[in-house]
Every structure is written in C-alpha cells, then in structure tokens.
Amino acid sequence: KGQREIKEYSNSSDSNSNDQRERRRNDDRRIEERERRDGAGEVEKEKPNLGLSGALTADTNTFKGVVIKYNEPPEARVPKKRWRLYPFKGTENLKASLILHLHRQSAYLLGRLRRIADIPIDHPSCSKQHAVFQFRLVLLMDIVVDGVKKRRVKPYIIDLGSANGTYVNNERIEAQRYLELKEKDLLKFGFSSREYVLLHDKADTTEIGSDENEEEDE
C-alpha cells in the first residue's frame, strides 16, 4: 500500500509538473505575441522619423554637459564650395567681420545657448538650440554620367522644434524636416530682425543662373 501511495503521489507530481510546464509555455507564447505586437507598434510609430533628419536624438549626444538635440546624418559632408551667410539688420549690411564662412565644417548649430552654438543667435525669441545648417551629399536624379547618377553636396536648414520658428524667404519652415537652401535665400530666426543671406564666394549678378554647373560633384 505504501508503494502504491508513493507511486500515485509520483504520478500526481508528474502531472502537476506537466501542467506547470504547459502553463509556462502558454505564458511564454502570450508574452512573445504581446512583444511582437508592441514591437510592430513601435516600428510603425517610428516610421515618420525616417523622413526627418535621420539622426534626431534626445539623449545620445552630449557636448559641454548639454544634451544636443541633433546628430549629423550619414550623408553629412564638408562642402568644397565656399558658402557664406551674410548678416543684415533691416536695410543695414552688418560688418564684414560678421560674415559666416560655412565651408569649414559640415554642420552648424544655431541657438541662444552660446556655449554650444556654432552660430549664436541672441534674440530672446530664439531657442537655446534653434536650428542646424547642414551640408548633405545628395543624389541628383536628373543628372546621369556614363550611366551613373551624380551626387552633389548641398546646403540644408532644419528647425529643431523651436518655439518661434525658422523662416526662409519670410515663410516659416516645417520643424524637424530638412529644407534645401538655394543661393540668395533669406533666413530669419524667431522674431529677430537680423536676416542672413546665403551666398558663396563666386556669386555675383552675372553668374547667377550658371552656378548649377559649378557645384561640386562626387
């Protein structure tokens, strides 16, 4: 009888163990299914960001103790063409010493926080990290040489979600999206009366219209 009880107990224990294992497997399957659903939702939510800068971050880039809202994209390049920003205030052309030479690096952070800004903009309506001027190597869909599409380094501006906006030719641009800039474009930030005109060292009234042929290709 004792052996029978032991055997019956053993069978009962095995049955309980099997039930527990089955429950664990079911739980694991439910967890995996939930993670797959959650993961799919996360990917779906992230999709729109792929059309933005491709590198906007909130917590991975720190400089001088400040979390930078922006990282450069893989297509960032230093331009060969000597692009410049010419500052104006009203009808007044500001000092030549204030001309910003943009060909020395691939990106410039503009903002009110001077310790991290490449180009400080001090007006109180401007954000600490307001916008980024970015050079990008882009594919030219309409230019093909020997069956290969040409690429070119072009200037872009991106607003980093500033409170009072970035303006190109007096129109507020969409935040967190690159906008390609053209020669003679007029840039303004927030409610500042200071304006910046984008030109390059070869720009003059006789050459405008032929500049496309002089851009650097890669």
What per-residue confidence (pLDDT) applies to 140?
82
CB-count burial class (<10 Å; 0-12, 13-18, 19+) for 127:
buried
* 181-211 pLDDT per residue, tens: 999 999 999 999 999 999 987 765 333 333 4
What per-residue confidence (pLDDT) applies to 28?
64
CATH number at 80 reads 2.60.200.20
Is residue 31 located within the same domain as residue 96? no
Is residue 157 located within the same domain as residue 110? yes
Is residue 71 located within the same domain as residue 27? no
Residue 96: domain span: 62-214
Q: What is the pTM of this model?
A: 0.64
* Maximum CA extent, the chain: 112
Helix (H, G, I), strand (E, B) or coil at 136: strand
What DSSP element (H or E) covers 109? strand 107-111
What per-residue confidence (pLDDT) applies to 73?
92
